Amino acid sequence: MSNFDPRKFDDLVFAKMSETKMPSVAACIIEDGKVIHSRGYGYKDVSGALPATAQTLYGVGSITKSFVALSIAKLVEAGKMDFHDPVTKFIPLRQRAFEQVEVHHLLSHTSGVPGLGSLEVILFQAFGDYHQWLPISSTDDMMSFLSEVDDWVETKPGEKYMYLNEGFVLLGEVVSRVSGKPWERYLKDEIFDPLEMTRTFIQKQDISADRDVATPYAVRGTKVTPVPIPYGSSAAGGVVSNVVDLSRFVRMLINGGELDGKRVVSSDSLAKMETPHIKCGVEYYGEDSYGYGLRILPNFLGHKVVGHGGSVDVYTANMEYVRDTKSGVILLSNGTGYSLGRLAMRAVTAMLGGNPSELRPVKLEGLLAKLEGQYRAYKGTIYAEVKRNGSFLVLSGEDIGNNIVLVPEGEADGIARFFTLDAGAKMEVSFRFNEHGVELLFERYRYRRSGPLPPKPESQWPS
Indicate whether 105 pLDDT > 80: yes
Same domain, 76 and 140: yes
In a domain, 203, yes or no: yes
* Number of folded domains that form the chain: 2
Q: List, for residues 401-410, the tens digit of each pLDDT value.
A: 999 999 999 9
pLDDT at 460: 35
- Structural domain including 412 reads 365-450
Residues in the chain, how many? 463
In a domain, 460, yes or no: no
Same domain, 314 and 429: no
Same domain, 401 and 259: no
Element (DSSP H or E) covering residue 143: helix 139-145
Same domain, 205 and 314: yes
Find the mean pLDDT for residues 73-89. 98
DSSP calls for 163-212? --HHHHHHHHHHHHHHHTS-HHHHHIIIIITTTT-TT-B-SHHHHHH-S-
DSSP calls for 316-363? EEEEEEETTTTEEEEEEESS-SS-HHHHHHHHHHHHTT--GGGSHHHH
Taking phi over 0 as left and psi of -120 to 50 as alpha, with beta for the rest, 150 belongs to alpha
In a domain, 360, yes or no: no
* Type of residue numbered 47: S
The residues near 365 (Cβ < 8 Å, ≥ 6 apart) are 342
Same domain, 199 and 162: yes
Supply the pTM of this predicted model: 0.92
Where residue 370 sits, what CATH number does that domain have?
A: 2.40.128.210
Residue 450 is classified by DSSP as E
Collapsing DSSP to helix, strand or coil, 173 comes out as: helix
pLDDT at 323: 97
The residues near 359 (Cβ < 8 Å, ≥ 6 apart) are 285, 342, 345, 346, 349
pLDDT at 452: 56
Q: State the pLDDT confidence band at 461, using cuts at 50, 70 and 90.
A: very low
Same domain, 303 and 445: no
In a domain, 14, yes or no: yes
Q: List, for residues 362-374, the tens digit of each pLDDT value.
A: 999 999 999 999 9
Q: List, for residues 241-273, the tens digit of each pLDDT value.
A: 999 999 999 999 999 999 999 999 999 999 999
The candidate with the shortest Cα–Cα distance to 127, out of 310, 309, 338, 315, is 315
Taking phi over 0 as left and psi of -120 to 50 as alpha, with beta for the rest, 461 belongs to beta
DSSP calls for 4-68? --HHHHHHHHHHHHHHHT--EEEEEEEETTEEEEEEEEEEEETTTTEEP-TT-BEE-GGGHHHHH
**Which of 355, 386, 405 is the last residue before a domain boundary?**
355
Find the mean pLDDT for residues 283-306. 95
Indicate whether 449 pLDDT > 80: yes
**Residue 19 and residue 359: Cα distance in Å, rounded?**
20
Where residue 133 sits, what CATH number does that domain have?
A: 3.40.710.10
Indicate whether 56 pLDDT > 60: yes
**Residue 429 and residue 406: Cα distance in Å, rounded?**
8
**Residue 213 and residue 204: Cα distance in Å, rounded?**
12
φ and ψ of 248, to 5 deg? -70, -40
Rounded to the nearest integer, the mean pLDDT of the chain is 93
Same domain, 329 and 377: no
Contact 255, 247 (CB under 8 A): no
Q: State the pLDDT confidence band at 451, using cuts at 50, 70 and 90.
A: low
Indicate whether 38 pLDDT > 50: yes
Residue 211 is classified by DSSP as S
Same domain, 123 and 238: yes
Same domain, 437 and 289: no
In a domain, 10, yes or no: yes
In a domain, 141, yes or no: yes
**Residue 168 and residue 237: Cα distance in Å, rounded?**
9
**Which of 323, 355, 387 is the last residue before a domain boundary?**
355
Find the mean pLDDT for residues 291-306. 97
In a domain, 345, yes or no: yes
**Which of 355, 374, 393 is the last residue before a domain boundary?**
355
Same domain, 229 and 207: yes
Same domain, 411 and 446: yes
The residues near 429 (Cβ < 8 Å, ≥ 6 apart) are 395, 406, 417, 418, 419, 420, 440, 441, 442
Find the mean pLDDT for residues 341-352. 96
| Helical pair 118-127 and 165-179, crossing angle rounded to 10 deg | 100
In a domain, 456, yes or no: no
Residue 214 is classified by DSSP as P
Same domain, 369 and 393: yes
